[in-house]
Structure 1
């Protein structure tokens, strides 16, 4: 790989991982990114002293690619308590992982939202998925999450009151019509590690990857949009808004729509799930007091979840302030005004906490993300593109070659780099 020039288009997670591995193998790597900083869909900014991620995102530290690619200690992770608080008007109850949160075992056992039979089946399901790895799970026969859980014998109340809002937050699909493969693997990962955020916000993840790529010798050209790509057996040419760059190979690691535009590969999925996340502030003395758990809306989807972010990661808020976020799923939420969504959250919290008012709740920011994940209906993973589906010396890297997740993106970046190394060494 020495003296080979590789261009990586896109500085999201997949592109950054590919760049680091290629540079570490001795290639001359140039990363071209249309934005002025790295991160792709994983982004963070500061507003009025608060840390605001681009939509509510978390890191599953049990993901194999996360453990391989990241220095979690350096990211200074802040972990959620396993489980969730199931909320409905005038009632809140804890459902925790009895094997990982022994302190709340008694409260979880007594949870009125979940029958004893459902709790026993949950432990059996955990044991079942724990015996299979990622490749086995994603090669298994597929069906929707809802039909899968019904086949397991779970009650409709458990599916509607816990799984729908919890996995609605993971798949951005509260109807549970997404692939059960995603459910199985993420369910396995919830037991394999922590659910957490970096103290500095989620963008600390791609920033660490970019720093590692630079240490290996990769160079970055930020604020440059790639207009076109030509590729054949002898190499590739990338055209930007200002120049053309010749390379021995190109890794296309942009978002799915841009990747399809550049490569013409029609199997790249472009149907998407979106969401709107609002961030709210409260004085510290008005904190919700639910600990470090995600709060699930068992009654309706508006909002799907409420998260006490600064309780989990105090660095997300200035001293004396609390930061909450609420996530609304689907296209309809993106058509509503920020004020209307804020009012829905306010009414929901007052229903959950009838003993108090939320006149001190203030709207800080609204993050609308139209393409948060590509849609993953049953069977979609069988038709996703491969890394070598672009003719010539161009390669694909992105979660859309695996499955929509941080794990899928990072794994894809490494595998795309391996494909480049193999082909250029032949």
Structure 2
């Protein structure tokens, strides 16, 4: 390739990590080309329009407390619609509510009276919550790393509450039902849960990456530009075109990154299927997450109660997630009838999103961040290099930008491989 007219950096993939990386490189004055294989930005954070319904590609929530989010975005244009703080646990005893007594004391009766968890466990959870909310994040990141189940028991929470209340809820967060996820990841998530608000943009989760993309310099982003090969001098696209660049950052999901960067380790991932149903009447007239205590489903929510504009007037949109990618719609709808205590036979199945690599697995011990350096002039970033969250993806992209800038400043001979 002729590198005389090259950009400084080509970034492959316009998900959250690639957008953050490109934005930081451009802000530092570098010439950047952001290459996206699909017809829009966002990666897994996309929203589809179908028959008047707005469908996120899998169940999504947006946490306002993430530092990278607060640094990069003005949240007001997103018109965020909040979920109820807490969740409803659906089981043989009906619905038991787990609510934040500080934010919603009117909903905390089940928790404060011991109907949801025994008073001793409530006190242990309160102490854990205060600790995670008030300690500096750096201390949480460098604490002893054990499986989440071990950490919760060590915090004084009984096995009954861990297995019967926390495991069903956290299975939907980490997409694994063994609570093997790193305790460092657990504590950082709990901190973000307490300090922020879980919400959805009025236009769907895809509004978040679109807002980031509007901050790019004109001409930076190229859609429908699939990378076929990466080497030290740039990127070869699937249509044969060449993008010359001094450095290349691969910001795709892990398997696609490994195809472009041979030898890159591909971590184990967690899979999920999200079903969308249309109901003529809302089965739960509040914007609250419903959690299956038995674990047959992960969770369900009437999205049109959270964001009324996601469904045509007079109809309700229900989102339900299940571990793995093999679940069938019929048994899921039958289970929803039990959880919502209503007839679901007339619910219309609208869509099913089967997502094989929805999150990276994060078992203890888990490194919360990894270097972006892979080989001279080649870098990699994404949530698989950090934590499985919007914060992790954005932070990984930011780290890649910092390392690229440092290496460009010292010259190509100083760029070394990293693992």
Distance in 2 of aligned mates of 1:340 and 1:130: 39
Q: Deviations over 1:109-162 (max 9, x none)?
A: 125131111111111001211233444323222111111111122122211222
Distance in 2 of aligned mates of 1:62 and 1:30: 30
How do residues 47-196 of structure 1 correspond to structure 2 at under 5 angstroms?
47-89=50-92, 91-196=94-199
Asked whether the 8 Å contact 1:138–1:381 carries over to 2, the reply is no
Distance in 2 of aligned mates of 1:377 and 1:270: 11
Q: Deviations over 1:46-93 (max 9, x none)?
A: 111111111101011111011111221111111111111111135112
Q: Which residue in 2 is equivalent to 1:315? A: 309
Distance in 1 of aligned mates of 2:305 and 2:215: 30
Partner secondary structure for residue 88 of structure 2: strand
Q: Which residue in 2 is equivalent to 1:386? A: 371
Distance in 2 of aligned mates of 1:279 and 1:111: 34
Distance in 1 of aligned mates of 2:88 and 2:219: 44
Distance in 2 of aligned mates of 1:264 and 1:138: 30
In structure 1, runs of 5+ residues without a counterpart are none
Distance in 1 of aligned mates of 2:388 and 2:138: 15
- Determine whether 1:294 maps to 2:279: no
Partner secondary structure for residue 212 of structure 1: coil
Distance in 2 of aligned mates of 1:401 and 1:160: 29
Q: Which residue in 1 is equivalent to 2:3? A: none
Q: Which residue in 1 is equivalent to 2:275? A: 278
In structure 2, runs of 5+ residues without a counterpart are 1-5, 411-419
Q: Deviations over 1:159-215 (max 9, x none)?
A: 1222112111110112211111121111011111100111101111111111111xx
Q: Which residue in 2 is equivalent to 1:338? A: 329
User: Offset at 1:43?
Assistant: 1.2
Bigger drift between 321-330 and 156-165 goes to 156-165
Distance in 2 of aligned mates of 1:292 and 1:52: 16
CA 281–111 in structure 1, closer or farther in 2 if over 3 Å, else same: farther
TM-score, normalising length: structure 1: 0.90
Give the counterpart of 2:35 among 28, 32, 35.
32
Bigger drift between 218-227 and 166-175 goes to 218-227
Give the counterpart of 1:306 among 300, 303, 306.
300
Asked whether the 8 Å contact 1:113–1:161 carries over to 2, the reply is no
Partner secondary structure for residue 140 of structure 2: helix
Partner secondary structure for residue 215 of structure 2: helix
Distance in 2 of aligned mates of 1:262 and 1:12: 16
Distance in 2 of aligned mates of 1:185 and 1:303: 25
Partner secondary structure for residue 27 of structure 1: coil
Distance in 2 of aligned mates of 1:142 and 1:367: 33
Give the counterpart of 1:358 among 344, 360, 363.
344
Partner secondary structure for residue 40 of structure 2: coil
Give the counterpart of 1:377 among 363, 369, 372.
363
Asked whether the 8 Å contact 1:96–1:104 carries over to 2, the reply is yes
Give the counterpart of 1:21 among 21, 24, 44.
24
User: Offset at 1:29?
Assistant: 1.2
CA 396–41 in structure 1, closer or farther in 2 if over 3 Å, else same: same
Asked whether the 8 Å contact 1:23–1:218 carries over to 2, the reply is no
Distance in 1 of aligned mates of 2:82 and 2:365: 32
